[in-house]
Each structure stands twice: as structure tokens, then as C-alpha cells.
Amino acid sequence: MSFTLAGDSSKSGEILMIFDKSDPDSIQVNSSGNIVSDSHASDSTFRYVLDKFKRHSSVYVRFPDGRESTFTLKGAAKAIGDCRSTFP
């Protein structure tokens, strides 16, 4: 799962996400802006974020450099379908 704003990813390893104005989540990403799922910990984060994408109607994303945007998640559950992590 990758995150970009204005065509660029976060290089710092962390982004802030707020789903439907709930409590903020600090999400670790790799240097390419991806949530990887190649270990127990990263797989847990991947599944957590994926579940939130399916259950909520919007997400606010902020990169450490201050770039931010809010996105609708309308239709996300259908579009995501049965997405699986790469962790065995």
C-alpha cells in the first residue's frame, strides 16, 4: 500500500492519518512511502489500515513536511475487495 501527495511520497518513515475525524493514527511507511507487510508488525499495520479504509468514509493524511489532504473513501470497500498482505 503506498501513499503519495502531489505525486510525491513521504520519505521520513511516518505519516499521520485521521479517519472520519477520529483519533489520529501514526503509520510507519518505508522510504518509498509504502506500508509493507513482510513481518508480523508491518502485516498488522497493513491489515489495520486496510480495515479502516473499508469501514470509514474519509481519511485525512499529513506528511511530516506538512503536506496534507483529505480523501473520500466512498466505494473503497468495493474497490479494495479481498486485498491480502504479502506476509505468509
Burial class (CB in 10 A: 0-12, 13-18, 19+), 15: buried
Q: Does residue 6 have a pLDDT over 90?
A: no
| pLDDT for the residue 18 | 97
pLDDT digits (tens, 9 = 90+) for 68-77: 999 999 999 9
pTM: 0.84
Q: CA 64 to CA 8: how far, in whole Å?
A: 13
> Does 87 score more than 90 pLDDT?
no
Q: What is the pLDDT of residues 9-29, one digit of tens each?
A: 887 788 999 999 899 999 988
Contact status, residue 70 vs residue 60, Cβ threshold 8 Å = yes
CA-to-CA distance for 62 and 45, rounded, in angstroms?
17
Note the pLDDT of residue 23.
96
Question: Where are the chain's structural domains?
Answer: 4-79
23: which 3 cell numbers?
483519533
